[in-house]
Amino acid sequence: MMIPLWLIPLFPLLGVLVLTAIALTSSPNEKGADEGLVGFLGVLFPSLAFIATVMLSVNMPVGGYRETIGTWFDIQVFHADFGLLFDGLSRIMLLFVTGIGSLIVLYSMGYMHGDRGFARFFAYMNLFLFSMIVLVLSDNLPLTFLGWEGVGLCSYLLIGFWNADTKNCKAANKAFLVNRVGDVGFLLGMLALVSVGGSSLLAYPELAAWLVNPEMGEQLLAGMPLLTLAGFLLFLGCTGKSAQIPLVTWLPDAMAGPTPVSALIHAATMVTAGVYLVVRLSPLFAILPEVLMTITVIGLLTALWAAIAGLFQNDIKKVLAYSTISQLGYMFMAAGVAAFDASIFHVFTHAFFKAALFLGAGAVIHSLAGEQDMRKMGGMLRKTPVTATVMVFAFLAIIGFPFFAGFWSKDLILEHLFMFNHFWGPVFYTIALLTAVITAVYMTRLMVLTFFGSYRGSAESEKHIHEAPFCMLFPMIVLTLGSVFAGFLWAGLIPGADFFKNWLAPVVAVPQMTATQYIGVPSAHVSTWMFAALGTLAAILGILIGWKAFSGPVPQAKGDCAPTGGKADWTFAFDKLHAWCGILPTRFLAWVTDVIVNRLVMFLQWFVGAVAVIFSDGVRSFQVRKVRMQLGFSILGMLAVLVIAAIYGGSL
Amino acid sequence: MLLHVLVFAPFLAALLMVAASHHDYRSASRLAVLFAAALTVGSVMLIAAGSVSTTPHEWFFIPGCNATVYYVLASHGFGAWLVFLSSIVGLAALIAARSALEAHYRNFAVGVFALMGALNGTFLAGDAVLFFFFFEAMVVPAAVLIGAYGGTDRKSAALNFAIYTLAGSAPMAIALWYILAKAGSSNPFAIMLTIQMLPAHTQNILFWCFALAFWVKTPLFPFHGWQAQTYAEAPAPLSAILTGVMSKAGVFGFLYWVIPLFPMDNVANKMMWLGLLTAVYGSLMALRATDAKKLLAFSSMGHLGLAVAGLFALSASTLPAVLVLLVGHGLSASAQFLLTGVAERFAGSRNLADMGGLARRNPVFGFFFGFSGIAAIAIPGTVGFIGEFLVLLSLWSVGGLPAIVAGFCIILSAAYMLRFIQAVLFGKAKGSLAKAPAQRFLIGDGLAVVPLLILLLVFGFHPAPIANSVSMPTAEENSTDGGYDESWENASDVAGDSTAADAVLEDSLVTGTDSVSAAQEVPENAR
Amino acid sequence: MQAIYIQILALILLTIGLATALSRRNMFFVLMGIELSLNAVNLSLVGFAKTLPAAASIAGQIIPLFTIGVAAAEACVGLAVVILLFRNQETVDTDNYSNMKG
């Protein structure tokens, strides 16, 4: 059914305006705005956007819809439109962005209950959804960048939501700044593209058409170095948004925000924007084998590193944060071996199970009145059974237990990795499989510490433990259903169950074909069952190791929950790298500027001024206190002039 | 007619303000706001009118150098937008001054109107001497206002400001005198042709004399010594005008009175790197600033450095890029100065260590402050983004390295602005703010910045009015040689036609050195 | 009578006037000295005018008329200033007027 595309972003935008007005007008009031009304409005607008998306999704033509609302900016050498594109890729992204978004906003009604910034929170959430929709729906890079920065801004605002604590603000600043580095890459990448073939290349359909246009062959060949540069720069932007090496450090800190934010922005939607962009630009990346190789390697390293770091965390949300980074690594490796559809499929399933995990963790934290240290939890299975059930299902999905959502998508990625080429394929596959085992280990650790054993917190807090209210449980249950069944949309083992692949085919089939020409021959096909069996084995092995290692007594919690010693070295390796390569040099440069150069400039300025003052003091001494003396001086001066005139006879 | 009105109405308004009540600042402010609003309407009409100019009148004759000076005003898209900026920022400053200056309101308004008149004259002058006159004249009201209503260190700040800028433009006065003696007319087109006949050595000296004046005014490193102190000591509404409009006079001078007049092939690259150096320098200084208004002053320096760098990139997108950047910076920086003035009133100090936690204390203030801060770091959707993006585009056409340096500045600008927002809005109240009684955020202060913030958003999504007002002449128009002859004839006509000079000016921007050689051949053809 | 005698007289008057203005401390005497030297200049002008033919000498005679008028106005203002100064400082001694020294 055809309705205007701009309706989808319009609804959350209306939500932003209404909720901002409410938040501002109610701010002097101690009690704040009415939570029922604000919550209703906050959920209403995202749901309307979801309904609009569903209406558009039904019976969508193969090519999708494209719509240009107006011109954004148009100067002689640069043109950008407000163009929207609703095709197979943006359909899937939008469905889960608005769907999961609405569910999590509903969940927030319970989670944020009683907070003074209730209305502000919902305004930010709507702003986030607006930006995310723009990011996904736009048909050109500049407009995507608008959404890209918009979600970054919302991420900043929401991480620092509880801004009375400067620690949260620092985390927010860090997230924004690390992203900014990536964003500059994005900007320069766009410029590189423009200099290859003009600003029309920034629109995705035009870019795809240009790249396969045989008449452009020579121009394309000449532009290859610049295109490769553009590919690297744009990928730098993706590493920022999706927290990959080297711009990985901000995501764990981003957990300072409220848990629904972590679930929606820092797990399900925003952080996958980088993957989305790589897939969206797949026609470009498909002809750049060097960039694709880099993407794969970065994805692999990030996945492995983050999985190991996840083992060391005591904060329940930090474990999930590293797990998110690791899963994003999987998505990038899939994109790197040109399995763009598998990559998006993992984005899709991951959105369900990671959101469920975060919401479950949020419910646990909520029931423990803000306690996040897993060493002080335990035995929650009996106290909050519904939450525990949700978590168990999501847990099975993330470790890739057979027939849960994660099993199908991860299996697909591993298979594509293996078939990448003769030599690198098996190597990549082994690393990814090892990462899968570690994933199962740290997730088992999380489950054991949180839900099994006996409660390790204070007796005082034990009395207050309660199951979450319905408005929090409902979204969790829906997401659980997703994490159990979403995988069947593309179940490799079941013939005919590849709906997902067909939906994406109009967008990514051509690039995937192109990429195989550049990457080389895929290795011999091995049975799909073989991969499934190995994947299952990895999951079960991980559970066993995890159970064996962590079901024993838990060390007493002391101090904060940050890891120490060698564990900290591993976890904060990239923070150190940033400090040494980025922050400290900049600080030093700023110090030099401020303390040395500026002082020097100021000294010179003072020196010139001082010389002038000394000189003028000397002149001033002619100005005597007596009026008659001054008169005398002036007469003498006139005499002097006369004398000179007389001597030189006026010929001076 | 509109041009005359826009230049002289502010001076008339200043005279009329003298008649306003000295004691009742409310009634005086009503009158002042009315005048400023009328000026804003006039400036919008000027933008709508496009390229217009008045008929030149012989103003006076300089016997010493045998040159006739004309009184002629001309508006091109660039100048008209800066006049708009001066009107809207002046309006905001006059509204905000109600709470900031109270008892001194009337005298402050007199000064502000005089300043606005001088600024408008600078942006609209179509004659070199007239331009120089207004360019110098703006220093006087600004210095008087700083000296009269500034902070504790106001006298030294006012003196520093006045001496620095006047001394900076002294070489320009001498160079102008020399050129006038050679050219016999102060018409920019005649000046341009005269300069092109001079030997390269002389051209070079004259260029640096002219550049120095704008170098100090913008300011570019290393002549920025006056800026931080001046912006910090001036009352917040005046700082808003200084940074929002007056600093643009320097960039405007480079654009209209340096680039078209002088051959650029040797110096453009140097000036671009100088702009980038200033941008990095200002950003780094802002990163370490502890004084709220000095932080904003250095941030302003960073942005203007970027504008100058973009200007001297001399690419096809230069004009719209720089204009959009300037308008965006003018709006966001002046809003920030006005709001920082409010924060200063809350805390009783400009020191960042005396602020914090204002988002909880005054949520509405927090909203405005955060909004303006975020607009200043060029989030897409605000006009700052379009400006920075287009400048980046210009720099990219010169080379990758300048673009990377500019990208570094963009990262730095986010770093210091987030630090600033955090120090003012977040955390807990510290220092003198913690002890100060809670104050209300006045509606007047909100009203002052709302138009600025709305314009930031509107132009962010629809920059066409700005960007298209300076659209380049298309290639066909350029290639016709007749255009040159015609404009030469116009210029040799004693009256001089400033619009013709503008066409050449834009042309020399587009093609850089080519048009210079083209123009050199013109005189022979004409003879 | 030769023109030179008039000029000598004017010179003597000018010298007396300047000497008075420079040497006396009383403000009134200073003013009188200045008036005297002004008149000496007038005299000199008239004297020179007499050496020219009649038609041209008119200009030389008119200028002193102007000077006398201006000098009268100046004396008015000067005396008013002296009165104000006296009210302010309670003295007519010029050496005490040193407030403007930077």
Tell me, yes or no, whether chains C and A touch by having 3 or more C-beta pairs under 8 A.
yes
- Mean pLDDT over all residues of chain B? 84
Domain finish residue from A508, A528, A563: A563
Report the pLDDT value the prediction gives residue A468, as an integer from 0 to 100.
83
Percent of chain A with pLDDT over 90: 43
Residue that is written with structure tokens 């015609």 in the block: B486
| Among chain A residues, CA nearest to B382 | A146
Distances (CA, A) of B225 to B251, B276, C50: 18, 18, 65
Q: How confident is the model at residue B525 (pLDDT cuts 50, 70, 90)?
A: very low
C102 pLDDT above the threshold of 60: no
Per-residue pLDDT tens digits for A166-188:
889 999 999 999 999 999 999 99
| Among chain C residues, CA nearest to A621 | C102
Q: Which of A146, A177, A594 sits opposite B414 (nearest CB)?
A: A177
Distances (CA, A) of A46 to A42, A126, A127, A159, A356: 7, 7, 10, 21, 19
Q: Which of B285, B390, B411 sits opposite A594 (nearest CB)?
A: B285
| Closest to B21 measured CA to CA, from B116, B115, B109 | B109
Distances (CA, A) of B2 to A482, B6, B49, B248: 67, 6, 9, 22
Does B412 or A527 have the greater pLDDT score?
B412
Q: Are residues A413 and A451 in the same domain?
A: yes
Exposure string of A419-436, with b = 16+ CB inside 10 Å and e = fewer, is bbeeebbeebbebbbebb
Q: Return the axis-axis angle of helices A35-57 and A7-26, rounded to nearest 10°.
A: 170
Question: CA C96, CA C80: separation in Å to the nearest integer?
Answer: 18
Report the pLDDT value the prediction gives residue B126, as an integer from 0 to 100.
87
Distance of CA A571 to the CA centre of its chain: 19
C23 interfaces chain A, CB cutoff of 8 Å: yes
| Closest to A418 measured CA to CA, from A511, A342, A523 | A523
Phi then psi for residue A563, to 5 deg, are -70, 160
Report the pLDDT value the prediction gives residue A524, as an integer from 0 to 100.
61
Check: CB of residue B463 under 8 Å from CB of residue B383: yes
B365 interfaces chain A, CB cutoff of 8 Å: no
Q: How confident is the model at residue A520 (pLDDT cuts 50, 70, 90)?
A: low
Report the pLDDT value the prediction gives residue B489, as an integer from 0 to 100.
38
Residue A251 lies inside a defined structural domain of this protein: no
Q: Are residues A223 and A292 in the same domain?
A: no
B518 pLDDT above the threshold of 50: no
- Mean pLDDT on B126-141: 91
Tell me, yes or no, whether chains B and C touch by having 3 or more C-beta pairs under 8 A.
no
B407 interfaces chain A, CB cutoff of 8 Å: yes
Question: CA A537, CA A301: separation in Å to the nearest integer?
Answer: 22
CA-based nearest distance A595→chain B, Å? 10
- Mean pLDDT on A415-444: 88
A636 interfaces chain C, CB cutoff of 8 Å: no
Per-residue pLDDT tens digits for B237-253:
999 999 999 999 999 99
Which residues in B lie closer than 8 A to residue A156 (C-beta atoms)?
A: 418
Which residues in C lie closer than 8 A to residue A636 (C-beta atoms)?
A: none
Q: List residues bridging with A71 in a β-sheet.
A: A81
Q: Does A635 sit within 8 Å of C22, measured CB to CB?
A: yes
Residue A262 lies inside a defined structural domain of this protein: no
Task: Tell me how many residue pairs between chain A and chain C have CB atoms under 8 A apart.
Answer: 27
- Joined together, the tokens standing for residue A222 give 């000449």
| Among chain B residues, CA nearest to A174 | B415
Report the pLDDT value the prediction gives residue A379, as an integer from 0 to 100.
81
Q: Are residues A235 and A364 in the same domain?
A: no
Q: How confident is the model at residue C101 (pLDDT cuts 50, 70, 90)?
A: low
Does B485 or B415 have the greater pLDDT score?
B415
Percent of chain A with pLDDT over 70: 97
Per-residue pLDDT tens digits for B177-225:
888 888 888 888 888 888 888 888 888 899 999 999 999 998 888 888 8
Q: Does A188 sit within 8 Å of B392, measured CB to CB?
A: yes
Which residues in B lie closer than 8 A to residue A121 (C-beta atoms)?
A: none
Exposure string of B200-231, with b = 16+ CB inside 10 Å and e = fewer, is eeebeebbebbbbbbbbbbbbbbbbbbbbbbb
Give alpha helix (H) positions in A7-162: 7-26, 35-57, 88-111, 118-137, 141-159
| Among chain C residues, CA nearest to A633 | C22
A10 interfaces chain B, CB cutoff of 8 Å: no
Q: Are residues A543 and A633 in the same domain?
A: no
Distances (CA, A) of A150 to A183, A216, A262, B123: 12, 35, 17, 36
Report the pLDDT value the prediction gives residue B510, as an integer from 0 to 100.
47
- Joined together, the tokens standing for residue B364 give 């509405």
Per-residue pLDDT tens digits for A140-159:
999 999 999 999 999 999 99
- Mean pLDDT over all residues of chain A? 88
- Quick one: CA dihedral A201, A206, A211, A214, positive or negative? negative
Q: Are residues A531 and A632 in the same domain?
A: no
Q: Which of A145, A180, A602 sits opposite B414 (nearest CB)?
A: A180
Chain B stretch 225-244, residues whose beta carbon is closer than 8 A to a beta carbon of chain A: 225
Percent of chain B with pLDDT over 70: 89
B527 pLDDT above the threshold of 60: no
Q: Are residues A107 and A145 in the same domain?
A: yes
| Among chain A residues, CA nearest to C100 | A625
Report the pLDDT value the prediction gives residue A542, as an integer from 0 to 100.
92
Q: List residues bridging with A68 in a β-sheet.
A: A83
A600 pLDDT above the threshold of 70: yes
Chain B stretch 175-214, residues whose beta carbon is closer than 8 A to a beta carbon of chain A: none
Q: Does A623 sit within 8 Å of C101, measured CB to CB?
A: yes
Which residues in A lie closer than 8 A to residue B224 (C-beta atoms)?
A: 601
Which residues in A lie closer than 8 A to residue B400 (C-beta atoms)?
A: 188
Does B483 or B298 have the greater pLDDT score?
B298
Q: Does B380 sit within 8 Å of A195, measured CB to CB?
A: no
Per-residue pLDDT tens digits for A235-276:
999 999 999 988 999 999 999 889 999 999 988 899 999 999
Residue A568 lies inside a defined structural domain of this protein: no
ipTM score: 0.90
How many other CB atoms are there within 10 angstroms of residue A332's CB atom?
A: 29
Question: CA A49, CA C76: separation in Å to the nearest integer?
Answer: 88
Domain housing A122: 1-201+214-241
Q: Are residues A445 and A474 in the same domain?
A: yes
A627 interfaces chain C, CB cutoff of 8 Å: yes
Check: CB of residue A84 under 8 Å from CB of residue A69: yes
Report the pLDDT value the prediction gives residue A650, as an integer from 0 to 100.
58
Report the pLDDT value the prediction gives residue B484, as an integer from 0 to 100.
36
Q: Which of B364, B403, B471 sits opposite A27 (nearest CB)?
A: B364
Structural domains in chain A (count): 3
Residue A276 lies inside a defined structural domain of this protein: no
How many other CB atoms are there within 10 angstroms of residue B464's CB atom?
A: 16
Question: CA A33, CA A22: separation in Å to the nearest integer?
Answer: 7
H or E element in which residue A71 lies: strand A65-75
Residue B357 gets the label, from left (phi > 0), alpha (psi -120 to 50) or beta, of left
Q: Does C102 sit within 8 Å of A628, measured CB to CB?
A: no
Total-model pTM: 0.86
Strand pairing of A78-86 and A65-75?
Answer: antiparallel
A619 interfaces chain C, CB cutoff of 8 Å: no
Question: Which of A303-317, A498-512, B311-325, B491-505 shows the lowest mean pLDDT across its residues?
Answer: B491-505
Q: How confident is the model at residue A609 (pLDDT cuts 50, 70, 90)?
A: confident
Q: Does A623 sit within 8 Å of C102, measured CB to CB?
A: yes
DSSP state of B102: G
Helix (H, G, I), strand (E, B) or coil at A70: strand
Check: CB of residue A254 under 8 Å from CB of residue A159: yes
Whether omega before B56 lies within 30 degrees of 0, making that bond cis, reads: no
Report the pLDDT value the prediction gives residue A74, as an integer from 0 to 100.
83
Residue A624 lies inside a defined structural domain of this protein: yes
Q: Are residues A555 and A630 in the same domain?
A: no
Report the pLDDT value the prediction gives residue A1, as an integer from 0 to 100.
62
Tell me, yes or no, whether chains B and A touch by having 3 or more C-beta pairs under 8 A.
yes
Report the pLDDT value the prediction gives residue B485, as an integer from 0 to 100.
35
B313 interfaces chain A, CB cutoff of 8 Å: no
Residue A429 lies inside a defined structural domain of this protein: yes
| Among chain A residues, CA nearest to B160 | A609
Report the pLDDT value the prediction gives residue A271, as an integer from 0 to 100.
92
CA-based nearest distance C7→chain A, Å? 18
B499 pLDDT above the threshold of 50: no
Which residues in A lie closer than 8 A to residue C23 (C-beta atoms)?
A: 628
Which residues in A lie closer than 8 A to residue C98 (C-beta atoms)?
A: 625-627
Q: Are residues A593 and A559 in the same domain?
A: no
Residue that is written with structure tokens 């594509």 in the block: A416
Chain B stretch 209-228, residues whose beta carbon is closer than 8 A to a beta carbon of chain A: 221-222, 224-225
- Any chains having at least 3 CB pairs less than 8 A from chain B are A
Q: Does A628 sit within 8 Å of C21, measured CB to CB?
A: yes
Q: Are residues A535 and A633 in the same domain?
A: no
| Closest to A39 measured CA to CA, from A65, A59, A19, A68 | A19
- Joined together, the tokens standing for residue A568 give 């900290």
Helix (H, G, I), strand (E, B) or coil at A116: coil
CA-based nearest distance B22→chain A, Å? 35
Per-residue pLDDT tens digits for A523-569:
566 778 888 888 899 999 999 999 888 887 777 777 677 777 778 88
- How many residues in total does chain B contain? 527
Residue A254 lies inside a defined structural domain of this protein: no
C99 interfaces chain A, CB cutoff of 8 Å: no
CA-based nearest distance C53→chain A, Å? 27
Q: Are residues A79 and A164 in the same domain?
A: yes
Does B496 or A586 have the greater pLDDT score?
A586
Question: CA B104, CA A109: separation in Å to the nearest integer?
Answer: 51
C18 interfaces chain A, CB cutoff of 8 Å: yes
Q: Which of A623, A628, A635 sits opposite C94 (nearest CB)?
A: A628
A394 pLDDT above the threshold of 90: yes
Q: Are residues A312 and A454 in the same domain?
A: yes
DSSP state of B59: E
H or E element in which residue A646 lies: helix A627-648
Q: Is A652 exposed, middle or buried (0-12, 13-18, 19+ CB in 10 A)?
A: exposed
Check: CB of residue A15 under 8 Å from CB of residue A76: no
Report the pLDDT value the prediction gives residue C54, as an integer from 0 to 100.
80
B407 pLDDT above the threshold of 90: yes
Residue A279 lies inside a defined structural domain of this protein: no
Report the pLDDT value the prediction gives residue B481, as an integer from 0 to 100.
35
- Mean pLDDT on A386-407: 90
Per-residue pLDDT tens digits for B247-283:
999 999 998 888 888 888 888 899 999 999 999 999 9
Check: CB of residue A442 under 8 Å from CB of residue A323: yes
CA-based nearest distance A646→chain C, Å? 18
| Among chain C residues, CA nearest to A632 | C22
A2 pLDDT above the threshold of 80: no
